[in-house]
Amino acid sequence: MAISSSAPSTLPEQRLAPVCALARGPAELAAHFAIRRTVFVDAQGLFERDDRDDRDEDRATLHVVGLTAEDVAGAVRLYPLDDDGLWKGDRLAVLPTERALRLGAMLVRFAVRTAAERGGRRMVAQIQVPNVRFFERLGWAPDGDPAPMLGVEHQPMAIELSRRPGR
């Protein structure tokens, strides 16, 4: 299932490989939120009705969409935590039907690259424990002890942005 966005897509019609971009306009932003709702509310039950929070209203927060040939199929968001180059990424989600196509990895790399381009020096995230290996393969490392969050064990992880990770 892909979530439709009626706005003109970020890229030309005939893209072959998945791509990531900052959500452009209300339709792509709505698609970003719809992906998150499908994954974090409907599938994982981490939130009762909606996973949106104050961060989504903050102008510093960047909302990313992952686009397959069909439509928006993934999401992630990122934001600065301070004025000293510390960024955080969260709400990484790929629709269940679109997984294992490398879109998740692409979204993580895009978030890391985007934070680095905006002066970030370090990025942190709270990672659901079954996804730790996925993040390690993308250059992230554990950064503290696991702890429950939203009823699920999360591992704090971090990546140094100055390394300019591969695309």
> Which residues of the chain form contacts with ligand COA (CB under 6 A)?
39, 92-94, 99-105, 127-128, 130-131, 133-134, 137
For residue 47, the minimal CB distance to ligand COA (Å) is 12
DSSP string, 9-47: PSS-TT--S-EEEE--HHHHHHHHHHHHIIIIIIIS-SS
For residue 83, the minimal CB distance to ligand COA (Å) is 26
Q: Which is nearer to ligand COA, 39 or 78 (CB)?
A: 39
Chain residue at closest Cβ approach to ligand COA:
104
For residue 35, the minimal CB distance to ligand COA (Å) is 9
Q: Give residue for tokens 């989504």.
A: 56
Q: Which is nearer to ligand COA, 11 or 150 (CB)?
A: 150
Q: Give residue for tokens 């591992």.
A: 155
| 3-class SS of residue 161 | helix
Q: Which is nearer to ligand COA, 9 or 140 (CB)?
A: 140
| 3-class SS of residue 78 | strand
| The two three-digit tokens of residue 124, written as one number | 């942190």
How far is it, in rounded angstroms, from Cα 66 to Cα 98?
Answer: 10
For residue 103, the minimal CB distance to ligand COA (Å) is 4
Q: Which is nearer to ligand COA, 26 or 43 (CB)?
A: 43
